[in-house]
Amino acid sequence: MRKKIVAANWKMNLDLNEGAELVNEIFKGLPILNENKEVVIAPPYLHLTQTAAQLAGMIDVHLGAQNCHSEASGAYTGEISASMLKSAEVEYVIIGHSERREYFKEDDAMVAKKVNQALSNNMKVIFCCGEPLSIRDANTQNAYVEKQIKEGLFHLSESQLGHIVIAYEPIWAIGTGRTASSAQAQDMHAHIRNVISIHYGTDAADEISILYGGSCKPSNAAELFACPDVDGGLIGGASLKANEFLGIINAMAEA
């Protein structure tokens, strides 16, 4: 049975004290989750060891990172490798976020290399895809996202695909307050599952979790998570406030 996941992407927000406080607040309100439901927290790199210590012993809450480098090691000043993340007890790495694709010029080939780095260090990947507004307006979003998935993931074996979570994040909905409707999210998630099914078969397609990201809030999470192909969310802004993030976790717990 595929997992339902709510993952927090803190992006470049919160100092160490604020991060520790937020994790404590989340713990205080965390509902009991059944075994196929989990929470991931992806703070900035600097927080990882502190957050790992806070999460020690928590079975429902997992540590994530927001990125890793595409090479294993070497002269890349200021960068962090996948093996370093693994040594900091990171379980999930977000790869291919639209902000990395846009501001750091990460193309599909680089995203694919990062996926390989994370998997070869025994971490899971939250693989982000999603179209800009111009593509949505031209109604070519299915082909656009399909290409991202093929170029970022289709070099993987079926067993490697078992360590991938896909996050569909329409760029026009990220941080804008403009959420995709549940029908738009469901249509795209069904399309992604179909693309996976054609290449890897129905078992792999049934097993893969596909999260929605883009202005997800407590007020719209339940409707989004009720869609048959939406398996949770990747949450930016609303993951920075304990009560909002807990509202979204509760929506997953009840879905």
Catalytic residues: 97, 169
> What is the rounded CA–CA span in Å between residue 80 and residue 78?
7
Map the footprint of ligand PEP across residues 172-191, applying CB under 6 A: 174-175
**Of the candidate residues 125, 145, 216, 251, the single one contacting ligand PEP (CB under 6 A):** 216
The Cβ of residue 109 has, within 10 Å, a number of other Cβ atoms equal to 10
Comparison of 70 and 98: residue with beta carbon closer to ligand PEP: 98
> What is the rounded CA–CA span in Å between residue 63 and residue 54?
10
Q: Considering the complex, what minimum distance in angstroms separates the CB of residue 174 from ligand PEP?
A: 4
Instruction: Determine if 232 is a binding residue for ligand PEP (CB under 6 A).
Output: no
Q: Considering the complex, what minimum distance in angstroms separates the CB of residue 39 from ligand PEP?
A: 15
Instruction: Determine if 169 is a binding residue for ligand PEP (CB under 6 A).
Output: yes
Instruction: Determine if 248 is a binding residue for ligand PEP (CB under 6 A).
Output: no
Q: How many residues bind ligand PEP (CB under 6 A)?
A: 13
Residue with tokens 């406030």: 241
SS3 205: helix
Comparison of 6 and 208: residue with beta carbon closer to ligand PEP: 6
SS3 122: coil
Closest residue to ligand PEP, judged by C-beta, is 236
Q: Considering the complex, what minimum distance in angstroms separates the CB of residue 74 from ligand PEP?
A: 29
Closest CA to 241 of 214, 212, 213, 218: 218
Q: Considering the complex, what minimum distance in angstroms separates the CB of residue 250 from ligand PEP?
A: 17
Cβ neighbours for 153, distance < 8 A, ≥ 6 positions apart: 112, 115, 127, 161, 164
Candidates 18-26, 104-112, 194-202, 229-237: pick the segment binding ligand PEP (CB under 6 A).
229-237
**Of the candidate residues 130, 152, 213, 232, the single one contacting ligand PEP (CB under 6 A):** 213
Residue with tokens 């249509």: 187
Structure tokens at 19: 């991060």
* Chain centroid to CA 59: 19
**Of the candidate residues 61, 145, 188, 234, the single one contacting ligand PEP (CB under 6 A):** 234
Q: In this structure, are residues 170 and 145 in contact, taking their beta carbons and an 8 Å threshold? A: no
Closest CA to 67 of 12, 28, 122: 12
Binding mask 25-54 for ligand PEP (x = CB under 6 A): ------------------------------
Structure tokens at 57: 């012993």
Give the interface with ligand PEP as residue ranges (CB under 6 A): 9, 169, 174-175, 213-216, 234-238
